[in-house]
Structure 1
């Protein structure tokens, strides 16, 4: 699924996204922002900000920049910022998460909620998030990860060929995001049903080769 397919999928979803997906993803979104609010550092990047459902949840002292590939979704996020008077939202920018325009070490925290399954190359997304977050900062992901067996495993793989229509990869696995799951300091299924999982990865400096 390439960038244009993502834009087209979310052009279709923009008008109904909050009603269809907002309630389903609400617990995972709240869990992610709670984690962000507890972490040190004020400069927060939300990757795949969408319609801005998470923006009112950030603590006032967090300075939030949101990016998204979908202009239609961003327009709704901008409206939310105006209506809710969210003064801690420093910017909403149309940008490719796999090739960000930000300088290295621009943020203390980067969080991607329900985004890793959408981008064409999740590992490239991960590398870009590492680049724009300072050493010692934090990367957080909330995402659906594929089951390893059972009825859900079968359903996810049956839906996989429809990823261009759905706008996400139903069979997405943690290994599609991280080279090694041991990079994660926290892997925590989100209540109430564990459909989504919070993954926290400290942005540790790589040892010189």
Structure 2
């Protein structure tokens, strides 16, 4: 998907995202937040959307969010204000292919249901690996094609609707594996129905 298509799609979805896609994608966000909470430090959420994970972070975790959609960011800002959250370091409208933070800026970088949305996911992964410190975590939750028995046909039928749905149903897991600076340490299928996969990587030297 191109950036313009993403912005148009999520402008449409922003007001109802929490009640639709949000509910079936919370499992991955909870796993990511639990890992960050246990380790502590700072986290960058790439494609923070409406801020669905904000409630899951401990107050001691410093959270920064970026998203290409201004409408989504407004929802996240409103949510943080209503909740009185004080650990939100900032929300920024930004293309994840060019993250405007220095190298090794964060202890963790998370992309929750983003990789099958962004154009050039390999570039996004490069940027995530760049801005996380060596030894830090890169956390990805996403739907990957062929990972859930019985859903292959539905994935194939939904593929042409990417611009309408806001994500690619036929996205292959191989596109986020094998990065030279990221060592895969955990793979887990996420409820409900195992439709989503949670991946935890460690940033290695090099």
Deviation at 1:170, TM superposition (A): 0.2
> Which residue number in structure 2 is paired with residue 137 of structure 1?
136
8 Å contact 2:47–2:65 — kept in the other structure?
yes
Match of 1:21 in 2: 21
2:7 match: 7
Matched, 1:90 2:92: no
Structure 2: how far apart are the matches of 1:20 and 1:111? Answer: 21
Q: 2:125 aligns to what? A: 126
C-alpha separation in 1, matches of 2:36 and 2:147: 29
In the alignment, the residues of structure 1 paired with residue 159 and residue 41 of structure 2 have an alpha-carbon distance, to the nearest angstrom, of: 38
CA RMSD of aligned residues (A): 1.7
SS of the residue 1:45 aligns to: strand
Task: Out of 21-30 and 54-63, give the one that drifted further.
Answer: 21-30
Structure 1 unmatched ranges of 5 or more: none
Alignment of 1:1-209 (within 5 A): 1-39=1-39, 41-147=40-146, 151-179=150-178, 183-206=183-206
5+ residue gaps, structure 2:
none
**Cα drift, residue 180 of structure 1:** 6.1
Distance 1:148 1:27 in 2: 16
**What CA distance in whole angstroms lies between the structure 2 residues aligned with 1:134 and 1:150?**
36
